[in-house]
């Protein structure tokens, strides 16, 4: 457990959102934007929160905006930007399209991340969630190399590092679903949705 270690949080708000047809961070679920849900969860484990995006509209949330160092490099580029910007060793990386994420799940991740690892991410056992994860700043050079080689598959980079899967009960795994399309959003709205916070 490293509950006393400083932690920053970076919410990845970039991406073209081509399948959703609009910027996913502003999509609304239960009268709040996806970004609002992510911020609520992140605030339960740190006050040092940043939004990785070039879209100035995100300034409305009241947190610093960090523009990608390398454009159009997906999550690998977003994580690299976060780690280069960060002043802390440990960094929560969270995709903005996970409206079900909760503080309790993030605390579960944070408290169980071993000091000696480089990356820890939540897993249901059958699915891994590398964008609900804690990355150490020392990973930055590996992400830089991946960008230079244009190998933008996130799990390829993670596979080169010391990582830990932090399992959660399968019954809670629906809280980690990312919502990519209007159809998925409609299904979410029609489903009884229990948040664990």
Is there a binding annotation on residue 83?
A: no
- C-alpha 101: how far from chain center: 10
Closest CA to 185 of 26, 13, 55, 14: 26
What's the rounded Cα separation, in Å, for the pair 59 and 51? 9
Alpha helices by DSSP H, listed for 50-95, are 74-85
What's the rounded Cα separation, in Å, for the pair 174 and 157? 25
Is there a binding annotation on residue 36?
A: no
Is there a binding annotation on residue 16?
A: no
What's the rounded Cα separation, in Å, for the pair 39 and 181? 21
Is there a binding annotation on residue 68?
A: yes
Is there a binding annotation on residue 24?
A: yes
Dihedral in degrees, nearest 10, Cα atoms 113, 195, 98, 1: -10
Is there a binding annotation on residue 12?
A: yes
Q: Which residues are annotated as a binding site for Mg(2+)?
A: 97
User: Which residues line the annotated binding site for GTP?
Assistant: 12-14, 24, 68, 97
Binding residues: 12-14, 24, 68, 97
């Amino acid at each position: 457990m490293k509950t006393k270690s400083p932690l920053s949080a970076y919410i990845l708000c970039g991406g073209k959102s081509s399948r959703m047809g609009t910027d996913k961070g502003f999509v609304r679920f239960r009268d709040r934007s996806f970004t609002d849900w992510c911020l609520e969860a992140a605030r339960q484990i740190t006050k040092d929160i940043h939004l990785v995006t070039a879209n100035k509209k995100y300034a409305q949330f009241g947190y610093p905006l960090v523009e990608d160092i390398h454009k159009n490099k997906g999550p690998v580029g977003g994580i690299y930007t976060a780690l280069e910007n960060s002043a802390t060793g440990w960094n929560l990386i969270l995709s903005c399209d996970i409206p079900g994420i909760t503080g309790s799940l993030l605390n579960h991740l944070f408290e169980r991340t071993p000091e000696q690892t480089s990356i820890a991410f939540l897993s249901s056992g059958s699915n891994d969630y590398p964008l609900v994860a804690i990355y150490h700043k020392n990973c930055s050079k590996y992400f830089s190399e991946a960008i230079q080689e244009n190998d933008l598959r996130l799990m390829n980079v993670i596979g080169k590092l010391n990582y830990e899967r932090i399992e959660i009960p399968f019954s809670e795994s629906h809280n980690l679903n990312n919502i990519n399309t209007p159809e998925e959003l409609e299904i979410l709205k029609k489903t009884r949705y229990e948040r664990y916070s």
